[in-house]
Structures are given as structure tokens and as C-alpha cells.
Amino acid sequence: MAVSRPTFAASPRLCSLRSSLHRRSGTSELLMNSREAFCFLKKKKNDAKILEEGPFHKVHKGIHQELPNSDPADPIFQKDYLEYGEILPFPESQSVEFKRFSTKHIQEYVKKIIPEYVPAFANTDGGYLFIGVDDKSKKVLGCAKKNVNPDSLRSEIVKTIHKLPCVHFCQAQGQITFTLKIVDVLAKGELYGYACMIRVEPFCCAVFSEAPNSWIVEDKYVCSLTTKKWVGMMTDTDPDLLQLSEDFECQLSLSSGPPLSRPVYSKKGLQHKKELQQLLFSVPPGHLRYTPESLWRDLTSEHEGLQELINKQMQPFSQGIVILSRSWAVDLNLQEKPGVICDALLIARNSTPILYTVLREQDAEGQDYCTRTAFTLKQNLVNVGGYTGKVCVRAKVLCLSPESSAEALEAAVSPMDYPASYRLGATWIAVASPFSQTSIQEKSSPE
């Protein structure tokens, strides 16, 4: 039987300043860039899935691996003391790193190198970190006993390793496995000082040096992503639709979507997005269409002056569509606002989309309501509709007070304080939102 794997996005869906994921590369350790981190996590996730579903899972019980004892460094690691000046009989390698103790601030130094080297070994194939050995000459130098307290050094190292964030794709959920030895360094049979040896086992999933440097905007606030959330967003997969694939087909996959967008499926045989757009939102050249027509009729007969008010707003636009609702906010699962007659979304040629809120009377909170609705609309275009272009929905409040009849009391258009890099240059493209795209585009003459 063919087993379909969930499809990963083809490239990282997140930008990060720093992945905080280290790996071994030859005799050094490397900080993975976004793409490397993405491939690394993707592989770990797939490995965990294969192991859990595959025929071996009962035998293996997780992905626990061990460093082979045949490593040339192992006999030295087994020793209880080292000789000062002794030359170790093996060089640095993918699984061996030599570090000298710094002469001052030994604990600070150890706290700095552990989060780089220990995860690097754990994320690769495991290995040995020797602190107190010169990397060129392979000579044991240790750290003079007057400069270090072996007990506090041990507890500092253990604490630092336990602080490293671990993220699992597998069922194991264990901590990083390591063996720490602080051994005596002897000179002519006398205690000279201490050396530190850490054996790190390969880790089933991912060990970080700290949380990745990546942020997200949540409810207007910039928040730092937690390690777990970051990994989740980096490795998000299209759901496995094995069972449903006979009835459903994918219209939008995650591979092209921004970080928060979800895949879109439709029932086979039903009309596709393109056909629906054509059917629901087509506009003949030179026309401005109001839809749904019945709602437009009802609204204009219920509210005297509404037709004039809206028509006046539409004067600058030659072709487009006005999508009306008694409340766009309610359509978007936001709170209804009393006093709102209707919301109208204009998608027109040579303009960014504009959301008009028509209020019965002037209201200080009207602009806030309209801006929030426009913002949510934009969010939905991206996260639900999978729209990947740059788009701005402007918010505009109109007021239909009975005294002033058709006179519009127009609130200030919300400021477009976008960063400079976010240029809405190709307005026409921006207007081609998921639901307007083909209809307006195809019916219009080429620019």
C-alpha cells in the first residue's frame, strides 16, 4: 500500500534573526541559518513519524540512540584522572571538541560554550567535549585547583544543560542525555587541578541553545515566539488527507502560504474559486456593481439618502464592485455595533480596497470599528484566503444623520502607516484579492 506523507512547505515560512540551533560540521560547531534549521527540523519530524508508524516502533520504543563506545575518545573518557601535559591519542573530529579553560571567569566561560557545543553534538551524532585540553597540541592543561571549585563547576554545568530548550516530534519527550565528569589533573602524582569531560548522546529531536530570535505580532503587540511555537510554525504540514482524498481536493496548499495561513480544500465536483469569482463578482467594463442587489434595494428603500451618500463616494471610480453587508463585522465574527446601517467594501480599478461604514449618527467609536473590521478583513484574505500579495484595506466612516439627509460627515481616512518596504506599488495586483481576482481582472482592458 502506498502511504502518502504529509507535504511540507518547500521553504521556511518564517524569518528569524537567529535559529539558536547548532550542529557539528567537521571539527567545529555551526549555527544553522533559517533554511538549514528548516531542513533539519523537517528531517527530524519525518524520522519521528516513520518510526512511530513503521514496523520497527514496537522494537525500538522511540528514537533513542547512543554514541558508540568504539569512539577513540571513549577510553580517555572512562579514566578517573589525567596527567598534566599528557597528549591525548586522538585529534578533534566531528565527535570530539577540545577547549582550554579561560584563565578568568571560568564559570561564565563554561556557561557561554555549553549552550553552543552540547546542542551541536546532540543535534548531530553525539560526541565528547573536553574542557582543559589544548586543541592544537592535544595537551591536557586542565585548570589550576586554586582557580576553580569542582563542585560548583559541576552544578553550574548541569544547570546550564538542563536549561537548554528541547522540542520533540516523537513520543519520548525526554531530556538531553549526557555524562559529565570533572576529573583530577595530576602533575608528578600531585593534584594540579581539574579537567571537564562531557559525553553527549545524539538527541532524538531538536535541542536549542536558547529560544530562537523570532517575533510575531499578536493583538497589536510584538511578542517573541516560544521555541515550541516557532518549531510548530517552521514545520507545519498540510494535513494528511489520506482518508478524505477521494472526496476532497486541495485548492491552496501551505507551501505557498504565509506563516498563519491554513490549507484550503474543496469538495470534488463543486465549483472552483475561479468559477465562483466569475459567477459572483464579475463586472462588465465601465460598470460599478452593487451586490447583493436585493440587499442594496432593501437598504436604499429603508434609509432615505443612503443611495446618494454612497453614489457620491463612488464618483471617482469607473469600474468595480461594492459588496454590501448589514455588518461586515458580524460576517467576520466580530462584535456587532449598534447604529451601523451597513458596511460596504469597494474593490475598484486603480484603488486599494476601501471599507465604508455607514453610521446612522456620528459616533466617536465609528472609526475604530471600521478600522478593526478592515484589519480583520485583510487578515482573513491572507490567513483564510491564502492571498500572498501586499494589500491594504482602507477604512472610511460615513454618517447618515436624518437632519443632514444626504450630507456625508466623513471621518478621516485611517492613516496608512505602513513600513517603507511595504509598497503597494502595483495597486491593480493588490486589488486582485482572492474573491475579486479573475472577475475584475479579466473583464478589464489591459493596462
Binding mask 386-425 for Zn ion (x = CB under 5 A): ----------------------------------------
Binding mask 229-268 for Zn ion (x = CB under 5 A): ----------------------------------------
**Position 166 contacts Zn ion (CB under 5 A):** no
In 153-228, beta strands by DSSP E: 166-167, 178-187, 190-200, 206-207, 215-218, 221-224
Nearer to Zn ion, 60 or 274 (CB): 60
Helices of type H across 78-235? 106-123, 150-162, 227-234
Nearer to Zn ion, 204 or 408 (CB): 204
Q: How far is CA 374 from the centre of its chain?
A: 24
Phi, psi for 110 (deg, rounded to 5): -65, -40
Among 74-82, 168-176, 285-293, 359-367, which window interacts with Zn ion (CB under 5 A)? 168-176
> Quick one: CA dihedral 204, 207, 211, 217, positive or negative?
negative
Nearer to Zn ion, 22 or 168 (CB): 168
C-alpha distances out from residue 277 to 195, 323, 442, Å: 71, 13, 11
Nearer to Zn ion, 61 or 287 (CB): 61
C-alpha distances out from residue 78 to 182, 185, 200, 388, Å: 12, 14, 14, 57
| Strand partners of residue 322 | 290, 346
Coil, helix or strand for 157?
helix
**Position 172 contacts Zn ion (CB under 5 A):** yes
Distance in angstroms (rounded) separating the CA atoms of residues 115 and 118: 6
CB of 66 to Zn ion, least distance (A): 15
**Position 170 contacts Zn ion (CB under 5 A):** yes
CB of 206 to Zn ion, least distance (A): 8
Nearer to Zn ion, 77 or 169 (CB): 169
**Position 432 contacts Zn ion (CB under 5 A):** no
Binding-site member from 168, 199, 349, 394 for Zn ion (CB under 5 A): 168
Nearer to Zn ion, 204 or 345 (CB): 204
Which is catalytic among the residues 44, 45, 99, 396? 99
Q: What's the DSSP call for residue 146?
A: G
CB of 56 to Zn ion, least distance (A): 15
The yes-or-no answer on residue 99 being catalytic is: yes
Phi, psi for 349 (deg, rounded to 5): -65, 145
Binding mask 181-210 for Zn ion (x = CB under 5 A): -----------------------xx-----
Phi, psi for 406 (deg, rounded to 5): -80, 5
- Show which residues are catalytic: 99
Binding site for Zn ion (CB under 5 A): 168, 170, 172, 204-205
